[in-house]
Amino acid sequence: MATGQLFSRTTQALFYNYKQLPIQRMLDFDFLCGRETPSVAGIINPGAEGFQKLFFGQEEIAIPVHSTIEAACAAHPTADVFINFASFRSAAASSMAALKQPTIRVVAIIAEGVPESDTKQLIAYARSNNKVVIGPATVGGIQAGAFKIGDTAGTIDNIIHCKLYRPGSVGFVSKSGGMSNEMYNTIARVTDGIYEGIAIGGDVFPGSTLSDHILRFNNIPQVKMMVVLGELGGRDEYSLVEALKQGKVNKPVVAWVSGTCARLFKSEVQFGHAGAKSGGEMESAQGKNQALREAGAIVPTSYEALEAAIKETFAKLVEEEKITPVKEIKPPQIPEDLNSAIKSGKVRAPTHIISTISDDRGEEPCYAGVPMSSIVEQGYGVGDVISLLWFKRSLPRYCTHFIEICIMLCADHGPCVSGAHNTIVTARAGKDLVSSLVSGLLTIGPRFGGAIDDAARYFKDAYDRCLTPYEFVESMKKKGIRVPGIGHRIKRGDNRDKRVELLQRFARTHFPSVKYMEYAVQVETYTLSKANNLVLNVDGAIGSLFLDLLAGSGMFSKQEIDEIVEIGYLNGLFVLARSIGLIGHTFDQKRLKQPLYRHPWEDVLYTK
């Protein structure tokens, strides 16, 4: 293992597997420490590339995302720490790939459950290539005021509380990540704080050992004393015992091996970590504490006495003027995330969108306040859903039935109409469903299918102003406007549109009043007297009948009716209905494997 410093205030890492929270915590720590550059240079998210937006203090920054370790290392040659948040299944392979990169010096493996044989290979490779592995099964480590791995030391509040935003004089190494948080607190209480803290992880074969880090701390001048928190199970602590005995450590080491309670159990006990298994005397906490004590470490009589032992050791070093306690600094305030500030009621923010028709935030989505379960359980139909989402109210059954009839009757009108023709040509050009559908929908307008709103507008205006059909049609003619809802390419006075008949029959039977429709029929009688093709068409029938629905249902105020007509809701019925047919035509052409459409020359008049 390399001697001395692992990290500095300029160390940058590559973060494997995108995990928003630990990366943001690293960046928040950077800001707290007054780092000039973010400690995460790049993210590796296998198969994905681009940028990930995160905060560096108040500023939003875009961190590059790479799809491979190789690409990330090539793009960020100065980033020498690899923080591996891969699952236990892929942690070993990705860690080995990272170790093989010449730019990577330290690899931290967070995953628990990495196969021991894989870890051994990683350790062997790292040792022979002078690289450092922290973990597996670790939270990572921290160099106070400089660099932090992932979630180490927990929340920003805890980091501030433990004064980890600036370096102290204590080097700390632990097996347990959870306990290291506890110890950061303890050490901050009774000393001037942590210089560096490492959790080596609870596996039987850690990538780097307690003694590796103690020997390294021994070489860092800023580290004046060391604290070790070992664990029962395994023999890792004995390499530290050896190092102490051989005089390789010349700074005070306060140590405690937890798990003394294992003796209270009759049988062998496995604690939380894979390596924390009570075995023989050598593996016991008592055995290790005794060996460390005999080798010269300061070992208290219980965990409870550890804090006092650290305090005493620190005080002695201060007294001997080996430590000049660091001056306190006030860390900058991390800006609070908007979401949490809103949640806690500290700030208010204007919304950017207002919506009144549906809400998916609760247990189940609601349409105009009606939950999905009611829609299904109470047998609502498409007409009811349209009523809720378009008109924001439940309409009487005859109204929703009328809406459904409109949808059914307008769903298709053969392959020769404008919309279907466009859809067919588009589908035959090899385009996808949505392209084929919208190319058909785009033909809907004042001449084709999209005359319903104008029909409603003009019929309503003429009827409300008590114009006779003659006055209405002739005034339109004077203005050069064709009467919307009148006229058809193939329907005639002697070949009426069946759809119009069906709609009229339904309305005459169920609507309380059909005054607008009867007016439209009078207009038709007049236009038919002029030309046989000037029938009331399906757009005209729906437009006039919807006026009757709005006025006769008693569910809409006069202003609401005017608004519906003014905004133009009713073409929506044709758009919705005809989408069904256009989708059908797309499938039909695809199913029939029809080739690219080309219009025949013979069907074009070429002229100058």
- Rule CB under 6 A: which residues touch ligand Q5B? 413, 417, 447-449, 451, 482-489, 531, 533-534, 537-540
Comparison of 384 and 539: residue with beta carbon closer to ligand Q5B: 539
Rg of the chain over CA atoms, in angstroms?
Answer: 39
Comparison of 241 and 451: residue with beta carbon closer to ligand Q5B: 451
Length of the chain measured in residues = 608
Pull the structure tokens for residue 544. Answer: 């006039």
Task: Say which residue the tokens 């002029």 belong to.
Answer: 530
Pull the structure tokens for residue 313. Answer: 């050791």
**Cis before 167? omega within 30:** no
Residue nearest to ligand Q5B (CB): 487
Q: Cα dist. 523→270, 470, 471 in Å?
A: 91, 7, 10
* Interatomic CA distance for residues 489 and 473, integer angstroms: 19
CB of 453 to ligand Q5B, least distance (A): 11
Q: Cα dist. 129→68, 76, 118, 199, 475 in Å?
A: 22, 20, 17, 22, 93
CB of 413 to ligand Q5B, least distance (A): 3
Residue 32: closest CA among 133, 136, 158: 158
Residue 241: closest CA among 299, 306, 280: 299
Half-sphere exposure of 84 (CA within 13 A, CB side): 31
Comparison of 287 and 540: residue with beta carbon closer to ligand Q5B: 540
Q: Which residues pair with 147 in a beta bridge?
A: 143
CB of 51 to ligand Q5B, least distance (A): 48
Please identify which of the residues 273, 413, 488, 585 carries the catalytic annotation: 273
Comparison of 538 and 551: residue with beta carbon closer to ligand Q5B: 538
Q: Is 501 exposed, middle or buried (0-12, 13-18, 19+ CB in 10 A)?
A: exposed
Comparison of 150 and 440: residue with beta carbon closer to ligand Q5B: 440
CB of 22 to ligand Q5B, least distance (A): 58
Half-sphere exposure of 242 (CA within 13 A, CB side): 9
Whether 273 is catalytic is: yes
Task: Say which residue the tokens 């009108």 belong to.
Answer: 413
* Interatomic CA distance for residues 25 and 39, integer angstroms: 11
CB of 507 to ligand Q5B, least distance (A): 18
CB of 353 to ligand Q5B, least distance (A): 34
Comparison of 135 and 484: residue with beta carbon closer to ligand Q5B: 484
Catalytic residue positions? 273
